Amino acid sequence: MDWNLVAVMVGIHALMFLTPGPDSIVVVSRATSQGMKHAFTAILGVISAGLFFVPSIAFGMEFVNSLSPVIWMAVRAAGALYLIYIGYKMLRASLASRADENPVSDISDLRSEEPLYAAYIQGLLTNLGNPKMVVLLTSFLPQFVAVELGNVSGQILVLGLFMYLNGFVCFSLIALVAVTIKKQIVNRFGSRSLSFWGGNLAGGTMLGVGLWMLGAPVRFVISPRAS
């Protein structure tokens, strides 16, 4: 296991939380309407989805790597191109958001009497039901695998573990901030300035990461290989 790659992966993944998504909206809505107990329960639901996603991707990537290094690099190249595409879309959306004057105001309409298990189920189904999760994880995790060390599935399992633990920490911080400033963060959540600068930063980060990740497949293609 290359722990330098693990550290880079954790840092890049933390930056992804700068842009609101379905999971973070669930966490913020639970925190602002029901408090930290329901927010943490929803976070546990989101993290539980990793018990399905990570092993599936880990053993799938092990199989791909066993077929051919060319196929493995093709998967990595496709993943990098996908991240570049997502970064481009984020930048476009952030530019469009400057004209949007309607803040997000409907994320705290959950009933305060709703039971804890409902928050857990919502977090779990939100993450499992997000079709981009499989594509993102398949694109993201293989970029930090040191193939030369072997045991690809084991490395992806460890990376996935750190990724979801990182997600737990980041979501918990988001929930704490939401509870602390409540109405202020809800009012600013959809503001033009927050959408614009947050979208630019996150989109530029994703674009840069995608270009960096594309380097390995490009080097694989242009480097001389023994016939």
Q: Tens digits of per-residue pLDDT, 127-160? A: 776 656 766 777 777 777 777 777 778 888 888 8
Q: What percent of the chain has pLDDT over 70?
A: 65
Confidence of residue 206 (pLDDT cuts 50, 70, 90): low
In this structure, is residue 97 part of a structural domain? yes
In this structure, is residue 101 part of a structural domain? yes
- Start-end of H helices in 103-191: 116-128, 131-140, 152-181, 183-189
Q: What are phi and psi of 180, to 5 degrees?
A: -70, -45
In this structure, is residue 226 part of a structural domain? no
In this structure, is residue 41 part of a structural domain? yes
Number of domains observed in the structure of the chain = 1
- Give the Cα separation of 83 and 86 in Å (integer): 5
For residue 160, the one-letter residue type is G
- Give the Cα separation of 123 and 27 in Å (integer): 8
Q: Tens digits of per-residue pLDDT, 159-195? A: 888 888 888 888 898 888 878 876 564 555 555 555 5
Going by C-alpha positions, the residue among 166, 44, 60 that lies closest to residue 116 is 44
DSSP character at residue 190: T
In this structure, is residue 134 part of a structural domain? yes
- Give the Cα separation of 196 and 190 in Å (integer): 10
Q: Which residue has the higher pLDDT, 27 or 213?
A: 27
In this structure, is residue 225 part of a structural domain? no
State the virtual CA torsion across 161, 167, 169, 173 in degrees, nearest 10: 180
Domain that holds residue 151: 3-220
In this structure, is residue 152 part of a structural domain? yes
In this structure, is residue 227 part of a structural domain? no
pTM score, whole prediction: 0.59
